[in-house]
Chains A and B, each alone.
Chain A
Amino acid sequence: MSQESSHQRPDFGRETALRGPFVFFFVAALVWLLAASALGLIAALKLWMPSFLNCEWLTYGRVTVVQKNLFIYGWATNALLAVNLWLLSRLTSFEFRNGWIAVFGGLVWNATLIYGVQQIFAGFLNGFSLLEMPREVGPVLAIAFLLAGFWPVVAFARRPSGHTFAAQWYVVGASFLFPIFYLIAQLLVLWCPASGVVQALVASWFVQNLLQLWLAASALGIAYYFIPKVLERPLAGYYLATVGFWTFFLFAGWTAPATLLGSPIPVWIQSVGVVAMVMSIVPIIITAINFHGTFAQNGGWANAWNSTSLRWVALGTISFTFVGLLRAIFYTRGYSAIIRFTEFYQGLDHLLVYGFVTMVIFGAAYFILPRVTGALWPSVKLIHVHFWSVTLALIVSTLVSLYGGYQTGLDLSKGAPQMIGGGKAHVLTAAAFLLGHAAFALNALGLIFRGLTSAENRQHD
C-alpha cells in the first residue's frame, strides 16, 4: 500500500483557504464516529445481555436511537460536508473566501446535534427512524445545513465555464435537496402531523431520500471524482452517466412504500414502491458500468488495491452495486412477507450507509487529508488496522444480518416464538468497528496536528 502523498508534495494555494473548514468538519465527524461506534458496541452488548448497563437513560431504546442519529447526522453528514467543500474547489475554480460562514453553520449544526442527543438520553424522543430528535431541532439543523452545505450549489451557479462533470451533478443534487425533504418531513411528522398512518409514509419517504439522495448521492459524487482521478483514465461508458444520474434521482423518492409492504397504507401505493425499487436497477447498472468497467481495464483493480485511498472507494462501489441488486430483489411482496421487521433490511441499510457511503468517505479522507494539511499519515500500521478491522467487520456483520434475518423470517413464518436477542457476532463486529475507527481517528488526528504545527512553522520562517 503506497501513500500517494509520499512522492508528490501536496499542492497548496487554493487548498489553504479550505484547510480551516475542512479540518473543522472532519474533526467533528471523527468525534461523532467514535461516539457512535462506542454506542453501537453498548447496544450490541445490551441485546446480547439485557441486564448490561440497565438504567433508564442508557436504556436500549435510547442508545440505539442516539447511535443511529450520530452515525448519520454526526459522522456521515459532517464528513460529507467536508469532502463536498473540497470537491467543489477542485471541480470549479470557485474561490472559497467565506469559509467562516460554513464553519459557523457547522458550529450550529454540531451544537444542535449535541442538544438533540442530550434530549434523547433525557427521554424526549419521537417514534420515527432518524426523525427522533425533538422537533425544535429540525428547523435549526436545516438552517445550519444551508450555511454549511449549500456551497456546491453556489459554486455551480458561479462557475465560469459551461462544462460540468458527473461528480458535480451528484454533489449539487444532494446538497440542494437535503434541506427540502428534511424540512418537509419535519413539518409533516413533528410540527403538523399528517393524518394517522400517512405519518409512516412520510417518514419512510424521508428515510429513502436521506439514504439515497443525500448520503448515497454525495458518495456517488466522490466515486465519480476519485476513480478517474486516481487511475488517471477516463471512466468507461461515461456517456451513460447522465442517464444514470437522472434515473437515480427520479426513482429514489418513489421507492419508499416498498419498505412498508403489508402496512395499513393503500395497496396501490405499496405496488408503486415495489415497481420503483425494481426500476432502480437502471442507475445501479449504469454506475456499475462506469465504475467496475473502469476498474476492469488495464489492471485497474490492482491499481485500486495498491492505493491507500482508491481501495476503499473500489470496495464501496462494489457494496453499492450489490446492495442495489439486493434491494430490487428483496423489497418485493413474497420476500417482504418473510423478512420484514427482521434484521435483514437493517443489514441492507447498513450495507448502503457503511459499505458504500462510509467506505467511500474513508477513501476520500486518505486522499484529501494529507493534501489540505500538508502532512503525512503518521502510521502505516494504523492504516492497516483500520482497513482490515472495518472491512472484515463489515463483511461478517452483513452476512450475519442477511442470513440471520432471513432464517429468523423463515422460522417465524413456521410459528417460532417472536423472541430475538442479539447474537455474539454483532458484539464482536461492533468491537471490531470501534477498534478500526479508533485507529483511523488516532492517525487522522495525529496527521492534522502535524499539519497544523508545520503550517505554523512555515509562517514563522
Chain B
Amino acid sequence: MKNLNLFLIGLFAAVAFPFGALIVSSQVQLGALGRAPAEEGGPLFPPREPGLAIQGRAVYLQLGCVACHTQQVRPAGMGSDIARGWGARPSVARDYVLQSQVLIGDHRFGPDLANVGARLTEAQLHEHLRAPSSVVAGSAMPAYEYLYQPKANGWAPTDRAVALVAYLKSLRQDYASPEAKLKQ
C-alpha cells in the first residue's frame, strides 16, 4: 500500500477485470446477434417495431412503468414465469437486439409484460391503463386517467395512450428463435 502507483493500478484492475471478462466478452458474444427467421426462409424475428410503438416506448419510460413491471421470461427451472403463462418460451438475448433502450426491469409488483401484446387486446389494455381496479379489484397499479378524455359515452384515448397501447401490443416473444424453440 506504500507505493501509490501500484496501489492505484491494483484498484483499477479490480474494476477493469470484471468489466473485461463479463461485459466486453458478452458484447463480443452477443453484439453480433441479428434477427433470425423462425423457420427456413420465413420472416425475420424480432420484427421491427412500428413507428407508433417507438413513441409508445417513450411513454412507457416517461410514466415509469419499469418500476413495477419486467419484460423478461425466465426459463422453466428459474421461477414460475412460463408455468403461469407469461411466455411460451424463455426470453433470449436475440429478442432485444433491436431495442436501443432495453426495459427488462428488475422488480415486479405486477405481471411480466414481455408477451402482454399476445395476451391482451387493445381494448383490454386501454381499460387496464385507465382504471386498473375495474379489471382487477383492489389493483395496486395506479390509474392513468390523464391519458384519457371523457366523451359522450365513455372515454377517448389521447395520442399518448394510443401510442402506449401500440407499444404494449408490440410486446410479444411468441416466435421460435434459434436459441429457444417454442414448446409444442
A interface residues with partner B (beta carbon < 8 Å): 46-47, 50-51, 54-56, 59-62, 64-65, 123-127, 129, 153, 156-157, 162, 164, 169, 172-173, 176-177, 180-181, 184, 188, 193-202, 204-205, 209, 213, 242, 246, 249-250, 252-254, 256-257, 259, 261-266, 269, 272, 276, 333, 336-338, 340-343, 346, 412-413, 415, 418-422
10 pairs, A vs B, C-beta closer than 8 Å: A51-B143, A60-B68, A62-B64, A123-B62, A253-B14, A262-B79, A341-B106, A415-B83, A419-B136, A420-B108
Decide yes or no whether B27 CB sits under 8 A from chain A. Answer: yes
Q: Does B17 contact A (CB under 8 A)?
A: yes
Minimum CB–CB distance from A320 to chain B (whole Å) comes to 19
B68 proximity list for chain A (CB < 8 A): 60-61
* B140 and A346 within 8 A (CB): no
Chain A residues lying within 8 Å of B102, measured Cβ to Cβ, are 127, 193, 196-197, 199-200
Q: Which residue of A lies closest to B66 (CB)?
A: A127
User: Which of chain B's residues have a CB closer than 8 A to the CB of A202?
Assistant: 23
Residues in chain A near residue B19, CB distance under 8 A: 181, 184, 205, 253
CB within 8 Å for A249 and B11 given contacts A198-B31, A254-B22, A264-B93: yes
Give per-residue flags for B51-80: 1 if the beta carbon is below 8 A from chain A beta carbons, else 0.
000000000011111111010101101111
Given contacts A50-B132, A264-B91, could you give 18 more A-B pairs where the C-beta distance is less than 8 Å?
A50-B141, A56-B63, A59-B63, A59-B144, A60-B67, A60-B142, A177-B14, A180-B15, A196-B94, A250-B17, A253-B15, A254-B21, A264-B93, A342-B108, A412-B84, A418-B84, A419-B140, A421-B138
> Given A195-B33, A265-B26, is A422 in contact with B14 using a C-beta cutoff of 8 Å?
no
Task: Report how far A144 CA is from B83 CA in the complex, Å.
Answer: 49
Whether B7 contacts A205 by the Cβ 8 Å rule is: no
* Cα-based distance from A153 to B7 in the complex (angstroms): 11
Whether the pair B105, A127 counts as a contact (CB closer than 8 A) is: yes
Residues from chain B with a CB closer than 8 A to the CB of A413 are: 79-80
Shortest B145–chain A CB gap in Å is 8
Known contacts A177-B15, A262-B78, A198 near B30 by CB under 8 Å: yes
> In this assembly, does B111 line the interface, its C-beta being within 8 Å of a C-beta of chain A?
yes
Chain B interface main SS type: loop
B32: nearest residue on chain A (CB-CB)?
Answer: A195
* Partner-A contacts on B (CB < 8 A): 1-2, 4, 7-8, 10-15, 17-19, 21-23, 25-27, 29-31, 33, 61-68, 70, 72, 74-75, 77-80, 83-84, 90-97, 99-112, 132-133, 136, 138-146
- Taking a contact as CB atoms closer than 8 A, the residue among B22, B105, B110, B143 that contacts A272 in the complex is B22
Query: Which residues of B sit under 8 angstroms from A276, Cβ to Cβ?
Result: 18
A65-B4 contact given A59-B142, A264-B72, A421-B138, CB 8 Å threshold? no
Contact A194 B27 (CB under 8 A): yes
**Chain A neighbourhood of B78, CB < 8 A:** 261-262, 333, 336-337, 340
Complex CA–CA separation, A272 to B111 (angstroms)? 29
For residue A20, give the distance in angstroms from its CB to the closest CB of chain B. 28
Chain A positions within 8 Å of B17 at CB level: 250, 253-254
Residues of A within 8 Å of B25, CB to CB, are: 269
The 10 closest A-B pairs by CB, nearest first: A61-B64, A253-B18, A262-B74, A262-B78, A421-B140, A196-B96, A123-B62, A341-B108, A249-B14, A195-B31
The answer to whether B93 and A197 have CB atoms under 8 Å apart is yes
